[in-house]
């Protein structure tokens, strides 16, 4: 089974090398690693030139097109029947693709999407996520947005955990030009395609670096653009998930921006088009009352920690 690994990157050569090495160190050896450099970057090209592995294939785009289009470009160049994505600031544990491939071989649906668990690595701790997996019949939107607790990581999907067929990504590519919520929009869209099914390897096999002190799209919060995105995708969500997105995504974004004027607007939106329960209202309130730094400290105190061996892509994770 040939798996094509697609790594979009832009101006992060040091982090990129860590990601590339973790992909090339996979126990599943039949793979190619397509690094899509999103616009010419001499430092990224020079870093990749130091890697001596015929499975590595750099692709330099003539101009920056953004994450969605960079991933789509990687898919177009891929030779494998299966595609796995890896963000340039994350890394994989060595058996990630091997264990996903074992599930893929057994899947009977035309378009299986195989996810894994992950370790969320933040300045305050390392957390085994997701804390739960979808229940039978649970809509993927509600799994992602409707928490049962204050803290993130309960229901979780992220591009670095995904593997699926190339044919699905050709049928439903990432939306061109979308700056934020790229993977979330894709989950909501493909969940409606007949023959799509989500499968989960219930082990933390991806190291996901979050809340890091570096510039990223996620760090550049813009609650207004997220609200517009939400409103444009309302028909792809249940009313309960719509309310959950406002409480778990929009409220913390607006709070971090200090946009107190957003409180009545978002609260009204949550009830107008959503169906919030007690938990959604409670989380919404907490996002405004409790500072993000305080929430992260509490999360570090009361949630299980993952142990990752330092300095090796051949790390092991203990729960």
pLDDT tens digits, one per residue of 8-52: 999 999 999 999 999 999 999 999 999 999 999 999 999 999 999
Q: Which residues pair with 136 in a beta bridge?
A: none
Upper half-sphere CA count for residue 265 (Cβ side, 13 Å): 12
- Nearest alpha-carbon partner for 27 in 100, 111, 84, 97: 97
Where the chain has pLDDT below 70, the residues are 213-221, 292-319
Q: Are residues 210 and 276 in the same domain?
A: no
Which domain range does residue 147 map to? 3-216
Q: Are residues 205 and 245 in the same domain?
A: no
Q: Are residues 279 and 163 in the same domain?
A: no
Cβ neighbours for 29, distance < 8 A, ≥ 6 positions apart: none
The domain boundary residue, chosen from 174, 193, 216:
216
In 10 A of CB 315, how many CB atoms? 17
In a domain, 313, yes or no: no
CA distance 290 to 286: 6
In a domain, 308, yes or no: no
Output the pLDDT for position 297. Answer: 63
Contact criterion met (CB below 8 Å) for 173 and 189: no
Q: Are residues 169 and 31 in the same domain?
A: yes
In a domain, 230, yes or no: yes
The domain boundary residue, chosen from 187, 216, 245:
216
Q: Structurally, how many domains does the chain consist of?
A: 2
In a domain, 311, yes or no: no
Q: Are residues 107 and 246 in the same domain?
A: no
CA distance 19 to 95: 15
In a domain, 206, yes or no: yes
Global pTM reads 0.89
Output the pLDDT for position 316. Answer: 35
Output the pLDDT for position 122. Answer: 84
3-state secondary structure 131-151: CCCCCCCCCHHHHHHCCCCCC
Q: Are residues 204 and 259 in the same domain?
A: no
Query: What is the β-pairing status of strands 56-60 and 31-37?
Result: parallel
Output the pLDDT for position 157. Answer: 94
In a domain, 310, yes or no: no
In 10 A of CB 110, how many CB atoms? 14
Q: Are residues 205 and 251 in the same domain?
A: no
Q: Are residues 233 and 204 in the same domain?
A: no
The domain boundary residue, chosen from 183, 216, 249:
216
- Nearest alpha-carbon partner for 5 in 110, 82, 64: 82
Q: Are residues 79 and 125 in the same domain?
A: yes
Output the pLDDT for position 280. Answer: 97
Q: Are residues 197 and 298 in the same domain?
A: no
Output the pLDDT for position 295. Answer: 62
Helix residue spans in the chain (DSSP H): 13-24, 42-49, 67-77, 96-106, 140-145, 166-171, 182-190, 223-232, 239-245, 251-257, 262-273, 278-289, 292-302
Output the pLDDT for position 207. Answer: 97
In a domain, 48, yes or no: yes
Q: Are residues 12 and 134 in the same domain?
A: yes
Output the pLDDT for position 301. Answer: 64
CATH number at residue 147: 3.90.550.10
User: Residues 78, 176, 115, 192: is their CA dihedral positive or negative?
Assistant: negative
In a domain, 133, yes or no: yes
Q: Are residues 70 and 184 in the same domain?
A: yes
């Amino acid at each position: 089974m040939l798996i094509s690994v697609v790594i979009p990157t832009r101006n992060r050569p040091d982090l990129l090398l860590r990601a590339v090495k973790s992909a090339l160190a996979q126990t599943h050896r039949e793979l190619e690693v397509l690094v899509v450099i999103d616009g010419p970057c001499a430092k990224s090209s020079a870093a990749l030139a130091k890697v001596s592995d015929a499975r590595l294939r750099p692709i330099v785009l003539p101009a920056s097109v953004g994450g969605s289009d960079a991933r789509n470009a990687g898919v177009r160049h891929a030779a494998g029947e299966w595609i796995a994505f890896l963000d340039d600031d994350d890394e994989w544990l060595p058996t990630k693709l091997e264990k996903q491939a074992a599930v893929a071989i057994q899947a009977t649906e035309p378009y299986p999407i195989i996810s894994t668990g992950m370790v969320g690595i933040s300045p305050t701790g390392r957390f085994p996520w997701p804390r739960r997996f979808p229940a039978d019949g649970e809509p993927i939107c509600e799994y992602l947005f409707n928490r049962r607790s204050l803290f993130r990581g309960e229901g979780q999907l992220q591009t670095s955990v995904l593997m699926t067929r190339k044919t699905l990504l050709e049928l439903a590519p990432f939306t061109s030009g979308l700056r934020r919520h790229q993977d979330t929009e894709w989950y909501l869209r493909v969940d409606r395609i007949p023959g799509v099914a989500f499968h989960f390897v219930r082990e933390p096999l991806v190291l996901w670096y979050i809340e890091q002190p570096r510039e990223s799209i996620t760090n550049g919060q813009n609650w207004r653009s997220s609200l517009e995105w939400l409103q444009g995708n309302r028909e792809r969500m249940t009313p309960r998930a719509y309310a959950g997105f406002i409480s778990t995504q929009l409220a913390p974004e607006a709070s971090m921006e200090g946009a107190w004027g957003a409180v009545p607007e978002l609260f009204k939106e949550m009830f107008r088009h959503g169906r919030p329960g007690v938990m959604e209202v409670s989380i919404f309130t907490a996002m405004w009352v409790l500072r993000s730094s305080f929430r992260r400290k509490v999360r570090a105190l009361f949630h299980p920690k993952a142990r990752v061996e330092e300095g090796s892509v051949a790390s092991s994770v203990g729960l």
